[in-house]
A and B are shown apart, each in its own frame.
Chain A
Amino acid sequence: MKNIDLTLHVWRQENPKDTGRFDQIEAKGISTHASFLEMLDVVNDRLLAQGKRPIAFDHDCREGICGSCGVMINGEAHGPVRGTTACQLHMREFDTRGIKELWIEPWRAKAFPVIQDLVVDRSAFDRIIQAGGYISVKTGQAPDANAVPVRKDDADQAFQAATCIGCGACVASCPNGSAALFVGAKITHLGLLPQGQTERASRVLNMVTKMDDESFGACTSHGECEATCPKGIKLDVIARMNGDYRRSVAAGG
């Protein structure tokens, strides 16, 4: 463990209407064992001690599972380490890569307006799920859990897709601001399970329509989303979504 000095350029924006700018902040004596967000905590405590407004950023679990955190670090969503959220990124990673200067920005996407500094509004994701990202079963209606066996392969694949944390990195890293990876992950999760078949056709239509309404861009297969997704969601979920969508439209919706 050692301490390092960094120069930060942090996006500061007072409110959604403000045009925003980068502020340069020196972050000295940061432990390589600290996480990226702990580095921001230290910087914020110092800003407060100088009577200044700390940097606003979303975070909660700090275990890479809630999907709250997420910023662009030197142009990469969640920073330079694959399969890692900003909260799980540790400062030793910058040290070993010889990086001393960090440009820290919020997600940039039309569908995710900035609220303050690094905090953006991702409620469009919730609205897409509300449009159809579920299996309709009322409390109390369920048969015994073992009444319907599920092939282990399908269950495992469904689980993989279901590990999406809804962070929005895929959208932020996509040149078109597309949400295809996020939506495809949910379509795949539910579409692979026997319980998800009844609503499969309507689900994909409703979710895709909502996605288009929410000012996300179109998917043109750049693949940046897969590269930055902290949960390793694969492009084939988009193929599944497109397949389901075509079949659904062909069948008359």
Chain B
Amino acid sequence: MTSQTSPLLNAKIPEGDIRQKWDNHRFQMKLVNPANKRKYRIIVVGSGLAGSAAAASLGELGYDVDCFCFQDSPRRAHSIAAQGGINAAKNYANDGDSVWRLFYDTVKGGDYRAREANVYRLAQVSLNIIDQAVAQGVPFAREYSGYVDNRSFGGTQVSRTFYAAGQTGQQLLLGAYQALAKNIHSGKVKMYPRTEMLDLVVVDGQARGIVTRDLTTGAISSHAADAVCLATGGYGNVFFLSTNAKGCNVTATWRAHKRGALFANPCYTQIHPTCIPVSGDYQSKLTLMSESLRNDGRIWVPTQKGDPRAATQIPEGERDYYLERRYPAFGNLVPRDIASRAAKERCDEGFGVGPGGLGVYLDFADSIKRLGESAIKERYGNLFEMYERITGENPYQTPMRIYPAVHYTMGGLWVDYNLMSNLEGLHVLGEANFSDHGANRLGASALMQGLADGYFIIPYTIGQYLAGTKLKPVATDHAAFKDAEREVKARMNRLVEVKGNTSPDVFHRELGKLIWDHCGMARNKAGLAEALEKIPKLRERFWREVFVPQSGDVLNQTLEKAGRVADFLEFGELMCRDAWTRDESCGGHFREEYQDDEGETKRNDDEFEHVAAWEFKGVNETPVLHKEPLTYEYVKKAVRSYK
């Protein structure tokens, strides 16, 4: 493997003071003449917060937009499942928040591995997002005064999180979906539901379209455009078990990667501390219990290993509130990566509770005593119900049992300040890009980023791209489309023709376990080397033994699954390679060799203060690493401390 500080990676960060960069940049942009906008066609793949917001906003501006999603309706994108809330530096609580503080918290929370300029802009536009959502009719929680309510959320000491009970993602997505629906009605956006993007088409170095499969009829078709936006979400399902929806995948970004887009920081994944523990081998996904629960719940384990008593029978003196003990300043509200590792540490030491000792208690007894059951019900009612439905236990009476689970992926396709990848014309939004969260994302910041990208950034930067770029007319009869279609069909046929005897899920589970064991909450060089050896073998077995019934000409859910698993089997290797190469610990990337005496992450700024962006060189070939150095002019770096 060679490594270089790459000329490919020009982040195009505007000059000037960080507070003025975005304003100056917008002023200096070339604009597309309003009458010309309808002559440009833009493809948006994805209809989550990032995709819906982008497609609706671009349609309103007058562009011709084609929007795609694999669900039967754009309203069902995975963003719908976000529970806890969305951050914005409104300072409605008058408790000391500001754009500067949100910026600072986000860079620190990301363990100094995010780009300052991007994060500052994110904090700036956070203000507009809330206004936009309220105007659309998003029913945020309100106080009796009629004004919007805020709460504090994991890892921050100010109340800057806006929420709609435990269904914030649902309400924000419905707002964006409805804006999208309006534009579909007016004909500015054409929506393609139940349609999966299977390849990116690049002509003369520019992204000019995609190849898709209609999931109902199996038809493969080409779509040409002047620019392509991928808003296809995160790759957390590489672990098989995660809190992501079942359809979440890496296919769109991975296939773009194979066409030349660099993949940045794939090893940065977030393990969420509060999820319902695994219960059996039939299990298909893990369920998140919103982080907001940590505002009123206290986390503990018994001081005695394997204590056989029921939680409620264990006296106060025999409980270890380990987060409050280790991090007195932040207590139960430490950032996710820290809370997750602390739970793992207690369980590894044998103090865990529940089946297999893989669980810790999240206890509401004190809050219920202090605030009353009805106040707790108002805040978390739907989460408590969900917990009871899944586990059959009543959390008003006995503490919840929780354990960390894969939740979010900070890594993604590399983009510059304009959200454009190294491939000209390919823009990447939302969780699919790598841009704003560094090595760890703060709670309630993904919704903020998705909507910032879609509503307030891409509408400007894509205009600049179109106004400043020579685009030859390209239609779907171009050879590049025909080639891509042929390759897509060939790959599908290969999957059908294996005719083995094993379901794609079986391979997916096996891959997930490998990645969880070696590239999960804690990683080390030897384990990663082992994974790097095993994944190609598993991939080979997949291509020998997988079974896909029927053909590609009908609705074929096994074929869809097999295609996605095949991509995860390639991507997982890159993820492990990235983790293996990054010889330091930072944020969610915890390399066991690099920790201090108290088990906290030890960064190595001298060697690793960079974005690691990988270039594809072929399956079974070693990818090439490109580095984008990071600099911190405004935030004072420190050892991240929450003590």
Contacts and interface: CB of A to CB of B under 8 A. Distances in A.
A54 to B, nearest CB: 6
B14 interface: no
B165 interface: yes
Interface stretch (B112-120, B180-188, B577-585): B180-188
Interface in B93-144: 128, 130-137, 139-144
Contacts of B191: 126
Nearest to A59: B246
Given A54-B558, A130-B184, A135 B137 contact: yes
Contact of B73 (A64, A125, A151, A193): A125
Contacts of A66: 71, 76, 78, 80-81, 245
A143 B131 contact: yes
B629 interface: no
B16 interface: no
B89 interface: no
A228 interface: no
Chain B interface residue bracket vs A: 35 or more
Contacts, number: 227
A90 B389 contact: yes
B182 A162 contact: no
Given A48-B547, A53-B550, A145-B90, A139 B455 contact: yes
Contacts of B185: 130-131
B179 A134 contact: yes
A61 B164 CA distance: 19
B284 A62 contact: yes
Interface string B372-405: 0000000000000110011010000000000000
Given A45-B505, A66-B80, A158-B139, A90 B131 contact: no
B557 A51 contact: no
A92 B549 CA distance: 31
Interface in B536-564: 547, 549-550, 554-555, 557-558
Interface in A178-223: 189-190, 193, 195-196
A73 interface: no
B284 A38 contact: yes
Interface in A25-48: 30-31, 33-35, 37-39, 41-42, 44-45, 48
A37 B285 CA distance: 11
Contacts of B503: 44-45, 48-49
A5 to B, nearest CB: 15
Nearest to A88: B389
B605 interface: no
Contacts of A165: 170
B83 to A, nearest CB: 9
A148 B53 CA distance: 23
A23 interface: no
B506 A45 contact: yes
Interface-centre pick from B141, B191, B555 (highest chain A CB count, 10 A): B555
A79 B16 CA distance: 61
B78 A60 contact: yes
Interface-centre pick from B56, B184, B389 (highest chain A CB count, 10 A): B389
A143 B181 CA distance: 22
A88 B386 CA distance: 8
B247 interface: yes
B501 A195 contact: no
B283 A38 contact: yes
B90 A189 contact: no
Contact of A122 (B73, B137, B165, B549): B73
Contacts of B279: 1, 33
Interface string A63-102: 1111110000000000000011000101010000000000
A15 interface: yes
B411 interface: no
Contacts of A64: 386
A175 interface: no
Contact of B282 (A31, A48, A88, A146): A31
A149 B147 contact: yes
A211 to B, nearest CB: 15
Contacts of A116: 554-555
15 contacts: A38-B282, A49-B501, A54-B557, A58-B72, A59-B246, A61-B245, A65-B80, A67-B73, A90-B390, A134-B136, A137-B135, A146-B147, A155-B140, A163-B167, A166-B73
Interface of A: 1, 14-15, 30-31, 33-35, 37-39, 41-42, 44-45, 48-49, 51-54, 56, 58-68, 83-84, 88, 90, 92, 115-116, 119, 121-123, 125-126, 129-131, 133-146, 148-152, 155-156, 158-159, 162-163, 165-166, 189-190, 193, 195-196
The 3 closest A-B pairs by CB, nearest first: A149-B146, A134-B178, A142-B135
